[in-house]
A and B are shown apart, each in its own frame.
Chain A
């Protein structure tokens, strides 16, 4: 029999939005629990250097998130990063969040589950995952000292990963299916790095190798040419997908799978808020995630005050 525990508010997800909400909820003396199935910090836990968050010239994702976590905990928020959520019932009163070990009853819920990295959509991905195909530069980059690698993707995460990985690699191919989306600053830094060859309008068609990755086959859409690049590894940064599987039975999702909620972060269910990248919106940045976390926490507190009369 699982233990039942009441909380004023449960925040699902401990990325920037969730931790900011926790910080505010803690300061407002709400009994606050944050549940995280993956990494505390979410997508930025892997970020090598963040240079567009006010107050920091350059800070690693790990350092920044550790500070925000410490702030949230100092105000009394509890973060559980080990007990995994199995199901939620948001339309009930109170709302139910069932984990592997406990059943939480919450008066309000903030969903801040963010996004997960998209996997390379090739049948060989599974065969080479961890054997040449990687998703974490900080974890696995060290293994490619003096080797040739590729990075797939064209956004900031991909370009920054490429810049970082040349710390190890002697040569690096940045391969992207269209044009770069990374900001000018990151692109300029990459263009100035003579270890990096940028291949745009190029599709990755296949991964080759016996026990581990030995080459990638690419198709240049401009020239119509197919090439085989000898590489020891590839780091994949081809975008993200919203982490909304738990909520799809109760909340309306957008075509891209995100939760529909306005700038006030209110969803269609009273007392349920969506904050950060998981919310359907045009701009998704670390700063807007912090902003959403703030908004959701302050409006959740108003909801709770009204609920308790």
Chain B
């Protein structure tokens, strides 16, 4: 399952979600401002306190921000 770590109001988070939807990718979005477990997981993954949006498919490899080429590679689009 693809996971996207976001915060409310973040325009790049919304763009990542729209991009995944446009490619028919099923994903679950987590708001790390309100979901402490997701925030901890996002921090563990990236080593950063505050990076959003973060997209991962395996909890190991991830893409920060809206980076189309990197998302395509990560998700084999």
- Interface residues, chain A, with chain B CB atoms under 8 Å away: 39-41, 45-46, 60, 62, 81-82, 84, 130-131, 136, 138-140, 142-144, 212
Check if A39 sits within 8 Å of B22, measured CB to CB.
no
Question: Complex: how many Å from CA A82 to CA B33?
Answer: 27
The residue on B at minimum CB distance from A44 is B11
Encode contact with A along B60-72: 1 for CB under 8 Å, 0 otherwise: 0000100010000
Check if B18 sits within 8 Å of A142, measured CB to CB.
no
A142 and B33 in contact (CB under 8 A), knowing A62-B9, A84-B68, A136-B10?
yes
Q: How far is the CB of A101 from chain B (nearest CB, A)?
A: 11
Question: Complex: how many Å from CA A212 to CA B7?
Answer: 21
Question: Complex: how many Å from CA A144 to CA B68?
Answer: 28
Say what secondary structure dominates the interface of chain A: loop
Check if A139 sits within 8 Å of B48, measured CB to CB.
no
Q: How far is the CB of B48 from chain A (nearest CB, A)?
A: 6
A138 and B11 in contact (CB under 8 A), knowing A82-B19, A84-B68, A130-B51?
yes
Check if B18 sits within 8 Å of A81, measured CB to CB.
yes
Question: Complex: how many Å from CA A212 to CA B13?
Answer: 23
Check if B11 sits within 8 Å of A39, measured CB to CB.
yes
List B contacts of A46 (CB < 8 A): 11
List B contacts of A143 (CB < 8 A): 49-50
Check if A81 sits within 8 Å of B15, measured CB to CB.
yes
Check if B12 sits within 8 Å of A82, measured CB to CB.
no
List A contacts of B7 (CB < 8 A): 138-139, 142
Say yes or no for B52: interface residue by CB 8 A criterion: yes
The residue on A at minimum CB distance from B6 is A139
The residue on A at minimum CB distance from B50 is A143
Question: Complex: how many Å from CA A40 to CA B18?
Answer: 11
List B contacts of A136 (CB < 8 A): 10-12
Check if B52 sits within 8 Å of A140, measured CB to CB.
yes
Known: A136-B12, A142-B33. 8 other contacts (CB 8 A): A60-B9, A82-B22, A84-B68, A138-B11, A139-B7, A139-B52, A140-B50, A142-B32
Question: Complex: how many Å from CA A68 to CA B54?
Answer: 28
List B contacts of A84 (CB < 8 A): 68
Check if A41 sits within 8 Å of B51, measured CB to CB.
no
The residue on A at minimum CB distance from B11 is A45
Check if A139 sits within 8 Å of B22, measured CB to CB.
no
